[in-house]
Amino acid sequence: MGEPQPERWRARKLALPVGERVLLMAVLNITPDSFSDGGRYPNHDHAVAEALDMVQEGADILDIGGESSRPGSEPISLEEELSRVVPVVAKLAGRVSVPISVDTTKAEVARRCLELGAAIVNDISALRHDPAMAETVSHYQAGLILVHMQGVPATMQDDPSYADVVEDVYDFLRRRTDAAVSYGIDRERIAVDPGIGFGKRVEDNLALLGQLSSFADLGCPIVIGPSRKGFLGTLLQRPVSEREWGTAAAVAAAVLNGAHVVRVHAVAEMRDVVRVSEAIRAGSEHRPVQSEDLQKEHT
């Protein structure tokens, strides 16, 4: 039978309606070297303005990161990451109506942002990098995204390999989910992300997208982030700036196969892709679409 499917994803005092519609998580990288938008925001005010635009375009969650996790990237110091992220979260908290997620593996970055009002921690190490992260998430009753990554960003694409990528990633996320619960984090606060592009070959990413429904048995919201990733560049032979159509196809596939949250760069464009894909999925399941946004399109 599998686990019952989540209707809500708890994040502090919020209950995000993942059972009603697919949520758009907007990516805001405040870094000089991220693969897609590195160096785009020369100061904190530019980043804040972009975040406000993303909310206006339909973002349900803002995911703010200060350390690049692109293949080959090297870690930065705690002080540097704090200096990039904390001022932006401070300026946005209270100004936006959507929850703020902080993309970090460092407990102190998470703590400072949660103290300011962030609601979610997106940890690509799945609580393995910083021993204090689980306690921080539990203390603030934050939402948590556990991401699968083989290796570390600096070397993860050197020679990734799997016996069966879907089975291996599923087993990893099951173990990390159980570990998070054992650390005192409520299961209803945990979401899982198979980690597209994090130590994966092209065929691995395609298998994960095509078999995403396999992860439903974990009983947690499924987050997916294929936006502009390298496997699209390999498939299409296109640079990052020309991967939006490929991203649209990957996002559509993810939604049709059961994604609850999609992490994207181009919010307005992917919002349309998500809503149409969601309507197709709802139609194939013979149930009405639970989306106020679709109703607004016709009023």
Task: Summarize pLDDT for 132-164 with one digit per residue, the tens.
Answer: 999 999 999 999 999 999 978 777 788 889 999
Asked whether residue 254 is domain-assigned, the answer is yes
Asked whether residue 4 is domain-assigned, the answer is no
Domain range spanning residue 94?
9-296
Catalytic residue list contains 200: no
- Number of domains present in the structure of the chain: 1
What is the per-residue pLDDT for 4? Answer: 81
What are the tens digits of pLDDT across the range 3-41?
788 999 999 999 999 999 999 999 999 987 444 454 565
Asked whether residue 1 is domain-assigned, the answer is no
Q: Which residue has the higher pLDDT, 289 or 50?
A: 50
Please give the average per-residue pLDDT across 53-61, as a whole number.
97
Q: Three-state DSSP class for 173?
A: helix
Does the structure show a pLDDT above 50 at 296?
no
Query: Which of 91, 229, 243, 271 is flagged as catalytic?
Result: 229
Catalytic residue list contains 229: yes
Asked whether residue 173 is domain-assigned, the answer is yes
Asked whether residue 221 is domain-assigned, the answer is yes
What is the per-residue pLDDT for 288? Answer: 54
Of the chain, the percentage scoring pLDDT greater than 90 comes to 79
What is the per-residue pLDDT for 36? Answer: 47
Q: Is this model's pTM higher than 0.85 or not?
A: yes
Q: Which residue has the higher pLDDT, 85 or 94?
A: 85
What are the tens digits of pLDDT across the range 210-258?
999 999 999 999 999 999 999 999 999 999 999 999 999 999 999 999 9
Asked whether residue 266 is domain-assigned, the answer is yes
Q: Which pairs with CB-CB distance under 8 Å and at least 24 residues apart come from 41-44?
A: 44/87, 44/88, 44/91
Determine which helix (DSSP H) or strand (DSSP E) holds 123, and give its type and residue range. strand 120-123
How far is the C-alpha of 21 from the C-alpha of 109, rounded, in Å? 30
Position 122 confidence tier, pLDDT thresholds 50, 70, 90: very high
Query: Burial letters for 130-160: b for 16+ Cβ neighbours within 10 Å, e otherwise?
Result: beebbebbbebbbbbbbbbbbebbeebbeeb
Q: What is the maximum span of the chain, computed from C-alpha positions, in angstroms?
A: 52
Task: CATH number of the domain at 65, please.
Answer: 3.20.20.20
- Per the CB < 8 A criterion, the answer to whether 104 and 123 are in contact is yes
Where are any strands of DSSP class E within 42-81?
61-65
Asked whether residue 2 is domain-assigned, the answer is no
Quote the mean pLDDT of the chain: 91
Query: Which of 263, 271, 275, 281 is flagged as catalytic?
Result: 263
Asked whether residue 244 is domain-assigned, the answer is yes
Of the chain, the percentage scoring pLDDT greater than 70 comes to 91
